Chain A
Amino acid sequence: MRQIKTTSTILVSLLLLSSMLPALSIDFRTFDHEGFTRIVLQADQSFAFSVRNAPGQLQVLLPKNADFKTESFSGQNSQLLERVTGEVRENNSVVTIFFKGNVSVSKNFVLEKPFRLVFDLVKSEKIPTAAPGVPGNLEAPQGTPPAAQPAKPAASKPRPIETICIDAGHGGEDLGALGKSKLLEKNVTLRISQKLKRLIESKTGLRVIMTRDGDSEVSLNSRASIANNQQAQMFVSIHVNSSFRKSAYGSETYFVSLKATDPEALELARKENQNQEDPGETIQNDELKMILWNMAQTEYIRESSSLAEYIQNELNDLLGTRNRGVKQAPFRVLMRTAMPAVLIETSFISNPAEERKLHSEEFLDKIAFAIFNGISKFIYYYSTIVK
């Protein structure tokens, strides 16, 4: 009873306090840069927010105690921005960003001291129609901004995501897995990858590179090299699964596991560190260097794991197929990538029912949308840890 009383007192106090909270002072400003327009919402304190997309506009939902320094800001001289308005409603406050023509948000991120919410707008050449029930654009997950984000960046400082590498599995003489109806994995992975590329480019304006854009054979090492050399900040490998068990079905997303090599790898890393401490001693052993490069992915394991979670959640929601979950395995193509990297097994070509689905463009569209949504949510999360 005493506990209930205390809790009630605290709740009442909080309610009273919230009504007495100082107003959240918000100001807008915008800058036109080459190829994009930046909009900044600056506040005198941090705030919880969520983002909602609508045709030709973007809405940012804020707490109701917002105090807008200007209620409307005209983008008269801006290339992509029509205007920004601020409105205090009964339950919340809303900032609406109106676009000029076909515009999409390429990035949104938060900066602190002072607290700023930043949106970068880019021109979209063509905005495809979203599938029913599929979120249309880069969307910030509802909730508290970065202070509440649990993860911290890996040892090396991550860069904001500007380039994504999509890896269509197999190709050329490497057919990948084969379905009973002679459906080839290499063709399905390419179709999904091309759809995903179009979605990312049109909806976010980010740069997308493909390890292959046709029916060509690319070695696993070259796939990683392409991503590394192009300085991609995300690597997404698209595959179709196959099992000795014909009944196996569903989607799963992998990030790399170095478990099998851990004891040896740790020993090599120790040796490498010793050599770095003594500049006079150089490593002559090429094998050692090669093995250490095999561990490039270790720097990004945490981010890769998050990326895998975001994508797998979207696949579960959208495909309505069995959730096989996020898993780890020593994938050769992922090991040498120096960026967050995942491999997605979209469904089972060895399962007759799933193979039939893989013939349908609609199913491939759904897969591409799900992966895109997962990537979008990861980009938002990632932007909050890259400062």
Chain B
Amino acid sequence: MTTKTRNILLISLGAFFFAVLLMVVCSRKKTERPEPETLTKTVADGTIAEFIKVKLFYHSESSALLQPVTREIKVPESKEELYKKFISLLLISNNGLIIPVPEGVQLRSIFYLRNKEMLVLDFNDNLINAFPGGTAAELEFVYFIVDNFCYNFPEIKKVKILCGGNENKTLAGHIDLEKPFFPDFGRIKNE
């Protein structure tokens, strides 16, 4: 085997191993988001119920990044019910944490479109009527909702936000609401 052939072989082998390494790293990154942890517990009436552990992410005055708080949700009959329970829990105020949602905003309905892996959340009109304005506020609201859902439920790849049953152009004149949002986990504080 000539030196030239050996060099070519070595370079090819190196490139192959580098590609394999790259694939492994990338595939690890994709599965970084953990499946929700499930556990069983005996509830008040003595029956055994299934729970999942979720991480709720909030802003605070000291950090622009979303910080996690762990909670448990009793798993209901359907996925839609689970999502409803999740958002109810998310909107309960926590000491010192900021919920970037205007007063009086309530969820009207929720749909999960399996084929599109998309969650559709329909809020009442207060979302727009009571929205304080500002790009930062719009982005805080959008990614508070989107990141929380997409982080905890890997089957949700994107979230579409409706208001009063309708598609709206924006919340307060900035971010386009007509298209669904993909999560931005860069907004979540590293643990």
Chain A contact-residue range equals 35 or more
Is the CB of B166 closer than 8 A to any CB of chain A? no
A235 to B64, CA, bound (A): 29
Among A212-253, those with CB < 8 Å from B are 220, 239-248
A314-351, CB under 8 A of B: which get 1 and which 0? 00000000000000011111010000000101001110
Binds B, one of A41-49, A52-60, A108-116, A172-180: A172-180
Contacts of B174 in A (CB 8 A): 239, 329, 331-333, 343
Is the CB of A170 closer than 8 A to any CB of chain B? yes
Q: Do the beta carbons of B134 and A349 come within 8 Å of each other?
A: yes
Binds A, one of B34-42, B67-75, B175-183: B175-183
B80-117, CB under 8 A of A: which get 1 and which 0? 00000000000000000011100000000000000000
Q: Do the beta carbons of B133 and A246 come within 8 Å of each other?
A: no
Q: Of A244, A335, A345, which contacts B98 at CB under 8 A?
A: A244
Q: Do the beta carbons of A332 and B170 come within 8 Å of each other?
A: yes
Is the CB of B137 closer than 8 A to any CB of chain A? yes
Q: Do the beta carbons of A330 and B137 come within 8 Å of each other?
A: no
Is the CB of B61 closer than 8 A to any CB of chain A? yes
A324 to chain B, nearest CB (A): 9
Is the CB of B22 closer than 8 A to any CB of chain A? no
Q: Do the beta carbons of B133 and A175 come within 8 Å of each other?
A: yes
A88 to chain B, nearest CB (A): 53
A178 to B172, CA, bound (A): 12
The secondary structure that dominates the A interface is: mixed
Is the CB of B135 closer than 8 A to any CB of chain A? yes
Q: Of B134, B158, B182, which contacts A243 at CB under 8 A?
A: B134
Q: Of A174, A177, A343, which contacts B134 at CB under 8 A?
A: A177
- Known contacts A177-B133, A241-B134, A260-B182: A169-B173 contact under CB 8 Å: yes
A185 to B180, CA, bound (A): 28
- Known contacts A175-B133, A260-B181, A345-B135: A245-B140 contact under CB 8 Å: yes
Q: Do the beta carbons of B176 and A244 come within 8 Å of each other?
A: no
Q: Do the beta carbons of A243 and B137 come within 8 Å of each other?
A: yes
- Known contacts A220-B169, A220-B173, A260-B182: A242-B132 contact under CB 8 Å: yes
Is the CB of A28 closer than 8 A to any CB of chain B? no
A175 to B172, CA, bound (A): 10
Question: Which residue of chain A has its CB nearest to the CB of B59?
Answer: A245
Q: Do the beta carbons of A170 and B173 come within 8 Å of each other?
A: yes
- Known contacts A245-B59, A245-B140, A260-B182: A329-B170 contact under CB 8 Å: no
Q: Do the beta carbons of A260 and B169 come within 8 Å of each other?
A: no
Contacts of A329 in B (CB 8 A): 135, 139, 174-175
A333 to B62, CA, bound (A): 31
Is the CB of A254 closer than 8 A to any CB of chain B? yes
A239 to B133, CA, bound (A): 11
Question: Which residue of chain A has its CB nearest to the CB of B157?
Answer: A263
Contacts of A170 in B (CB 8 A): 133, 173
Q: Do the beta carbons of B133 and A242 come within 8 Å of each other?
A: yes
Among B113-147, those with CB < 8 Å from A are 132-137, 139-141
Question: Which residue of chain A has its CB nearest to the CB of B181?
Answer: A260
Question: Which residue of chain A has its CB nearest to the CB of B182?
Answer: A260
Q: Do the beta carbons of B133 and A245 come within 8 Å of each other?
A: no
Q: Do the beta carbons of B173 and A348 come within 8 Å of each other?
A: no
Contacts of B60 in A (CB 8 A): 245
B170 to chain A, nearest CB (A): 5
A348 to B64, CA, bound (A): 14
Contacts of A2 in B (CB 8 A): none
Question: Which residue of chain A has its CB nearest to the CB of B184?
Answer: A259
A177 to B174, CA, bound (A): 11
A345 to B138, CA, bound (A): 13
Contacts of A156 in B (CB 8 A): none
Question: Which residue of chain B has its CB nearest to the CB of A243?
Answer: B136
Which residues of A come within 8 Å of B, CB atoms? 169-170, 174-178, 185, 220, 239-248, 254, 259-261, 264, 329-333, 335, 343, 345, 348-350
Query: Can you give 12 contacting A-B residue pairs, CB < 8 Å?
Result: A170-B133, A241-B134, A242-B132, A242-B136, A247-B61, A329-B135, A332-B173, A332-B175, A332-B176, A333-B173, A343-B174, A345-B135
